Amino acid sequence: MRMKAAQAIVEIMVKEGITTAFGIPGAAINPVYQFLEKAPVQHFTMRHEEACVHAADGYQRAKHEIALAICSAGPGATNFVTGLYTACIDSMPVLCVVGQANTDQLGQEPFQCVDMPDIVKTVTKKAWCVMKAEDLPGTMREAFRVMREGRPGPVLVELPLDVQNSWLDFDIDSYERSPVAEVKPDPEKIRAAVQMIGQSKAPVIIMGGGCVISECTEEVVGLAEQLQIPIITTYQAKGAIPEEHPLNAGHVGIQVGQPLGNRVFLDSDLVLAIGNRFSDRHTGDLKTYREGRKFIHINIEARQIGLVFEPELGIVSDAKLAVEALAEEVKRRALGPVNAERCAQLPALRADLARKTDYECSPIMPHRVFQELNAAFDADTYFTVGCGITQIWSGQLQKIDKPGRYLPSGGAGTLGYEIPAAFGVKAAYPECTSVTVVGDFGLTFMGEEIAVASAFHRPIIVVVVNNAYLGLIRQNQRGYGFEYAVDMPYNQDGTIDYVKLGEAYGCVAERVFSPDELRAALTRAKACSQASGRCYLIDAICVKTQMCDMGGSIAAVKSWAPEGPARS
């Protein structure tokens, strides 16, 4: 069948399962848009190209299905870079398609011409510029395979304008998906791992984000229950085990870590780490983190084994296949509880080490914001979080009871991810409740995408933790003995009015100063988004200079929260 390459790419994307696109049309990509118009793909026109990728990223995290981010050439395409980095470091497959000048103009510096494959090579799994129409089907087949195989991640396909308009012989019925190879564990190493667990006295499981991606969180919990081993979740796996599960030992880390997780980890002698990366905010000082315990590290990407430090045993495997193999080997050996007495102490220890949140002051103590969020929303609610002090409080204090409901920018810590990602969740599940928690400064990064949620009747709830400071940067500067360019009094004194901003973007919006006002506002926000379909923005005026608990070592996290009732 004779067709344009622009039609062929749309037909291929549909056959590969693309049903949703986030994009901004432009002259260099309009031939593809001509065929997108009649395709069974729902397209959302965003307000910034970076937001296209964040929305597709949020869609993927919520639904585990690849979405399309698409835009024109030049500065539109370069705006994709931050979104690609955010998706890449957190292992999220996103298909990015961008336009380009005609092939005979490349290298001549024509209008809006930039070499995107070269620019994004460090923030994608792979990137291509399709120079001939007949190469398109093979390139797309490879792009989808690369996204899905091994550690998932984004790809970018650049399409010169003349290639889009070129004709080729192509029959979509003859197009077949490329098979995706499974990464199975070495049976001998599985046996060695179970032997190490059986010989340990105080083992702990680290459940990483790879377990959420591989959809094996229930299997990990089942393995832990059989062996009576505490489960620590990384930040990316928050919610992978219910908050009140007897084996939930919280997070480990120097920022979004929790006292319970750090205590249980430090008291362990063996760590079974599944689908994690040992990132620096998780480990802190490596000597403290490693001393006195052995490590088994399971990761689908061979490069990750030994990247930060050499474990005693490394297993390259998909998380689900590895956990299934471990469970079979445990059953074969009839290995029972390793240390049931230790696990029996966890619920009491969790209560004893819980951070204080019930502050009654006005302006609001930031900790209290998260107490009210925990009370207001059910376990099916989706939350997105970006970066900064608000993200740290969120990671420490929010309670999430289901996997895949807490969707943070983890590895990149991207301000601006929060709102478009929350919209991407609503695109995936229109009936769900999608809440984004953002600082007053972070709101101004990609905040315009609230207008997209309003325009497409996909209401999101935006909770602004307004402390009128670059809070985390202020805290970091104080460690150097100075404070400069981080105070933003105008964010609270009425000079900058986030209520009017929200209203301008189609929200119902209000400002609150006390816990009681916040609680009532959250009730109204839920009712409004369900009844009227309008977005809701709550500007929560918080204590300005409160710092967050953190430190350089998991054994030395300093608490800055006042012990008694806070007063301002």
Answer yes or no: do 463 and 329 share one domain.
no
Query: Bridge-partner residues for 23, per DSSP?
Result: 45, 70
For residue 357, is it within any domain?
no
Collapsed DSSP state (helix, strand, coil) of residue 100: strand
Answer yes or no: do 315 and 381 share one domain.
no
Answer yes or no: do 291 and 228 share one domain.
yes
Answer yes or no: do 337 and 425 share one domain.
no
Look at residues 476, 393, 383, 492 and name the one whose alpha carbon lies nearest to residue 440.
492
Answer yes or no: do 415 and 506 share one domain.
yes
For residue 407, is it within any domain?
yes
Instruction: Write down the pLDDT at residue 550.
Output: 96
For residue 78, is it within any domain?
yes
SS (H, E, C) 208-256: CHHHHHCCCHHHHHHHHHHHCCCEEECHHHCCCCCCCCCCEEEECCCCC
Answer yes or no: do 144 and 61 share one domain.
yes
Sheet containing 406-408, strands listed edge to edge, beginning at the edge strand earlier in sequence: 406-408, 382-385, 434-439, 461-466, 536-541, 508-512
Domain residues for the domain of 295 are 187-352
Answer yes or no: do 154 and 199 share one domain.
no
For residue 75, is it within any domain?
yes
- Give, for all 568 residues of the chain, the pLDDT tens digit: 999 999 999 999 999 999 999 999 999 999 999 999 999 999 999 999 999 999 999 999 999 999 999 999 999 999 999 999 999 999 999 999 999 999 999 988 888 999 999 999 999 999 999 999 999 999 999 999 999 999 999 999 999 999 999 999 999 999 999 999 999 999 999 999 999 999 999 999 999 999 999 999 999 999 999 999 999 999 999 999 999 999 999 999 999 999 999 999 999 999 999 999 999 999 999 999 999 999 999 999 999 999 999 999 999 999 999 999 999 999 999 999 999 999 999 999 999 999 999 999 999 999 999 999 999 999 999 999 999 999 999 999 999 999 999 999 999 999 999 999 999 999 999 999 999 999 999 999 999 999 999 999 999 999 999 999 999 999 999 999 999 999 999 999 999 999 999 999 999 999 999 999 999 999 999 999 888 889 999 999 999 999 999 999 999 999 998 854 444 3
End position of a domain, from candidates 294, 319, 352:
352
The strand pair at 248-251 and 313-316 is best described as unpaired
Angle at 182 between CA 180 and CA 186, to 5 degrees: 160
Look at residues 337, 268, 305, 308 and name the one whose alpha carbon lies nearest to residue 189.
305
The CATH number assigned to the domain holding 115 equals: 3.40.50.970
End position of a domain, from candidates 139, 174, 209:
174
The CATH number assigned to the domain holding 309 equals: 3.40.50.1220
Answer yes or no: do 304 and 326 share one domain.
yes
Answer yes or no: do 380 and 279 share one domain.
no
Answer yes or no: do 348 and 372 share one domain.
no
Query: What is the rounded CA–CA span in Å between residue 117 and residue 370?
Result: 41
End position of a domain, from candidates 140, 174, 208:
174
Query: What is the rounded CA–CA span in Å between residue 541 and residue 536?
Result: 16
Answer yes or no: do 427 and 503 share one domain.
yes
For residue 28, is it within any domain?
yes
For residue 279, is it within any domain?
yes
Q: How many domains does the chain have?
A: 3
How many residues comprise the chain? 568
Q: Which two tokens stand for residue 127?
A: 């990137």
Q: Give residues with Cβ within 8 angstroms of 111, minimum separation 6.
A: 74, 101
For residue 549, is it within any domain?
no
For residue 446, is it within any domain?
yes
Answer yes or no: do 322 and 388 share one domain.
no
Instruction: Write down the pLDDT at residue 563.
Output: 58
Instruction: Write down the pLDDT at residue 297.
Output: 98
